[in-house]
Structure 1
């Protein structure tokens, strides 16, 4: 399912349901391995090698979920990061995330959490021609393989532009 999701054959909600099902089955396998170990220890039942292989596979499958749970505890509970915390741009939901609810503006607590956790994320101002800055942004987007969710804006005679792109995570390819 990870390959199908990375190749855009599977949408995000079914992908997350499959991940949850995999975690549930691996946890069940580990629980049953514990029960089997108890029977092996108390009654001398057979199947110690199969028990060990099953428990090892369950632990290997659950390891990424454990790492994700660890990350969820050490990173702040933010639902969005913006370079403008006072007036963040609205998220474009015209791509695969169209079933998501629109985000409300960040609360003062979320603004302070972002400022504390990500002090280098802020708006930038450049003393360059506007077209040069937009060209540099386009180059960065191309190099990082971010997908545009809207076409590049027409920059003739403008001094501001909003470029909307989606970055995908390295392993699972979830939108970041």
Structure 2
């Protein structure tokens, strides 16, 4: 008489596969939606955390299924392995983000000039929802930045303002920074061609007035005071733009300042994450990438 052995079935293993598939599908859909601008970052983070929770459950049930396979040869080993594979992508992203969260200081705004940071021409007013953060950057944040990124400094170039501005704009485009607002750009344009003609016309008008009124004193308007710039110094050129990371599509705001000093041009950049109290070190990476590309573009005229 033949004895047939019926292998038990590990329901935990098959549940692990289903949970892993769901977590992976949710992760991919959320990632694509956020990358192409169909979802804002607070919702993206919340749904990614939800997919991570399902992935963690998938890992737990997969461990139970594999243990049952080892102990009583229960069916479901393949399903448990599939559950592990499906759960890996969201858990991997969560692990990398957690590592950067602990490794870098909890700041969201970095600047190459920690004393006088380039100002925002249009401050961000987006709703942070549950990703709350301080409204202003304090001195303690700048101190934390200096400790974490001591090599992040501005650049000084032995070149004219107009030449450096052209390179700054070109590199911004190469680094996927979309410029949305500028101030003081007219300082980089040579607009003195009209001065001789304007001066001749003014002299002709003065002579006509003098001949007509027989040198009668004519009251002249009081010279108007020049308006002070809203941001920075009068010689500053300011650019503000926005940038998105290549894979995740996380949004950052960027402010670039050009300042002419003693026949040199000083360039500073400021990067701030659009959402959340922690940029996970991405702001410094974006700033360093931009400055290195700018150094390459202006190779040969970089100062100390």
Give the TM bin, normalised by the shorter chain.
0.7 to 0.9
Q: Secondary structure at the match of 1:164?
A: strand
Q: Which runs of 5+ in 2 are unaligned?
A: 1-29, 188-233, 253-304
How far apart, in 1, do the equivalents of 2:161 and 2:134 lie? 31
How far apart, in 2, do the equivalents of 1:141 and 1:161 lie? 15
Residue 136 of structure 1 deviates from its aligned partner by 1.5
How far apart, in 2, do the equivalents of 1:4 and 1:159 lie? 42
> Where in structure 2 are the equivalents of 1:24-173 lying within 5 Å?
24-88=53-117, 89-90=119-120, 92-93=123-124, 98-100=126-128, 103-108=135-140, 110-148=141-179, 150-157=180-187, 159-173=235-249
How far apart, in 2, do the equivalents of 1:49 and 1:61 lie? 20
How far apart, in 2, do the equivalents of 1:155 and 1:56 lie? 53
Flag the structure with more relative contact order, 1 or 2, with Cα contacts below 8 A and sequence separation at least 6: 2
Q: Which runs of 5+ in 1 are unaligned?
A: none
Match of 1:13 among 42, 55, 62: 42
Length, aligned pairs only:
171
Residue 145 of structure 1 deviates from its aligned partner by 1.4
Q: Secondary structure at the match of 1:166?
A: strand
Q: Deviations over 1:17-63 (max 9, x none)?
A: 22111111111111121222333344442111111221232134312
Q: TM-score by structure 2 length? A: 0.50
How far apart, in 2, do the equivalents of 1:154 and 1:82 lie? 20
Residue 163 of structure 1 deviates from its aligned partner by 1.2
How far apart, in 2, do the equivalents of 1:145 and 1:60 lie? 26
How far apart, in 2, do the equivalents of 1:19 and 1:77 lie? 20
